[in-house]
Structures are given as structure tokens and as C-alpha cells.
Amino acid sequence: MSPRKPPPARPSPTRPSAGPLAGPLAGPEDDGATDPDDAADLPGDRPAAPFGDPFGERSPRRAKVLDFPAPRRSHRVRNTVLSVLAVVLVLGGVVAYAVFSPALALRTVVVEGNTLIGTDEVEAALAPLEGISLTRISHDQVRDLLADEPPLEDVTISAEPPSTLVVTVRERVPVAVLQSGPEFVLIDAEGRQLATVAQRDEVQLPLINGGTAAVNTGVFSSITAVLAELPAPVLARLNSASASSVDSIRLSLSGDRRIFWGSAERSAEKALVLEALLALPETDPAVREFDVSTPDRPVTR
């Protein structure tokens, strides 16, 4: 029996090169062989980390920068600002339309509360406002345009879109009449000439003797102060008023009855007493004179 031949020796497998991990950087137990688990660690084969290698030792690839959404608060602020701007633009358009639109231009003037000043006079005085937007017409503008009208004391306005302006007039109160040639002039307590009438009986107010020149006398203001205190029903029953001095004011009533007033002092009390005396029943003989110069002790004659 021939001796058994030893099996032929197997050729040693050729090891691949250790690559970048070979050499002095290899670990003490690294024999240079390529571990299958280490294949993924090769620079050309392993996938890039999503946020890069935090230790800067593995992948040489540049990390990718991701965009994060803006905070929600920034969106809310932006939306709020845009909404406010939109509202401002809308309001600005409305205001511009109201101020400049020809649809609101003044075309008609309605006058109320006037008796001494004519409606046509008011309309003529306010003619410069025609065509101006109602929103741009002010109380001061209207009052300034009517300032030259003597009967006017004040005025209020209100707009009635689309094109009407209502002007409510408050006039001064006339208390007496002065004769000026063939005409008669209505005056207020300050002696301001308010209007003229052709006939004396057109107004039920006392006539102050002396004509328009009486305005310049020293007793004129005392007379008008007395007349301003009288109630309208009593004032309408007076025929005339006169005075030789500030302490001797006299009034005359219809039916040839007279009133001795005295001075302008305590005129409010005297007016109440006179009103009460005139309300008394008629007597026989009739009273011809009422003396209220001392309102505490009135006298009738």
C-alpha cells in the first residue's frame, strides 16, 4: 500500500489593499482585511448623513442647508398689517368721494325761521357756495357770508344729501319802531336797525319819538332796555315810548292810556306788575294811568 499523498496546498487568498484605513491609523487588531460591515464606511460608498458628520471625520461632502418655515407670529403680524392697510385705503376712498364728488355738490338752499330777512336775500348771499360739496361747507362759512344782514343773530345749518343745504335763521328781536321819512324802521334793544316797513300798522310795536336821531340821545338805551323786558303781548299793545330823562320813561297804550315807568331799574319786576294790572277787569271809571315806578306800591289813576 503506497503511502497517502498529502493534499495539495491551497493558494492563499489575495488580500485587497487596506485602503485609507491601512497603515499607522489602523487599530491594533486591524489586520488590514476589509470587513464587510466596514464597506459602508468607505468614502465612495457610504451615504451622506442628513445633517452632515457632526465630528467632521467621515464624509467630506458639504452639508445641505434646509429652509425652515417662518414662525407663525410673523404671518399673523403680516396679515394684520395688510388688513389695516386695506381698511385705510377703503376709508380714504370713501372720504375722497365725499369731499370731492360732484354728486354731493350744493344746488338748493332751504331757509327756515326768517321773518325779517327775505329768503331771496339769504340765497343770494350764499351763492358763492353753489357747486361746493356739502361735506366742505361749514357753519362759519355760512355765518360769515350772512354777517352783513342786520336782522341775523345766528344761523345753524344741516345737509340733506345729495345737494340740499338747510339754513335755519335766528333773528334779532325788534322792540320798537323809528320813523325815517315816509318809512318806519324796526330796531332791537341795542338800537340796531333790522328792517323797514312802509306802514306803521304793519308791526305792533311802540314808536319811539324823535325819529332815527333818537338813537343818539342819552335816554334811548334806557327806553329800549325797558321795552326789552316787556312780555310780547304787552309790547304789542303799546303805541309809543318817550322820556325827557332817564328817570321819566313813559309808555302809551291804545285807548289813550298811559304808563309811568320811571327809570330802567327793576324793569323785570315792573313788567310783571304791569302785566298783572292790565289783566284786571275794567273799572268804571276806567283807569287812565298805571304808575309802576315803585313796583312794590303800584298806583292806578
| Cβ count within 10 A of residue 155 | 21
CATH code: domain 104-171 is 3.10.20.310
**Alpha-carbon 162 to chain mean position:** 19
Residue ranges, comma separated, of all CATH 3.40.50.10960 domains in the chain are 176-300
pLDDT of 31 reads 47
Q: What CA–CA distance (Å, rounded) separates 92 from 81? A: 16
For CA atoms 63, 65, 71, 72, the dihedral sign is: negative
DSSP string covering 154-206:
EEEEEEETTTEEEEEEEEPPP-EEEEETTEEEEE-TT--EEEEESSGGGS--P
Query: Is 30 a residue whose pLDDT tops 90?
Result: no
CATH of 176-300, one of 3.40.50.10960, 3.40.190.10, 3.30.930.10, 1.10.3720.10: 3.40.50.10960
Residue ranges, comma separated, of all CATH 3.10.20.310 domains in the chain are 104-171
- 15 backbone φψ class: left, alpha, beta (φ>0; ψ -120 to 50): beta
Closest CA to 181 of 200, 156, 202, 162: 200
Containing H/E element for 239?
Answer: strand 238-243
The answer, as to whether pTM is greater than 0.75, is: no
Residues 6+ apart with CB under 8 A from 207: 176, 177, 178, 179, 184, 200, 239, 240, 241
pLDDT of 113 reads 94
Pick the range with the lowest mean pLDDT from 48-62, 71-85, 135-149, 243-257: 48-62
- Mean pLDDT calculated for residue range 8-24: 49
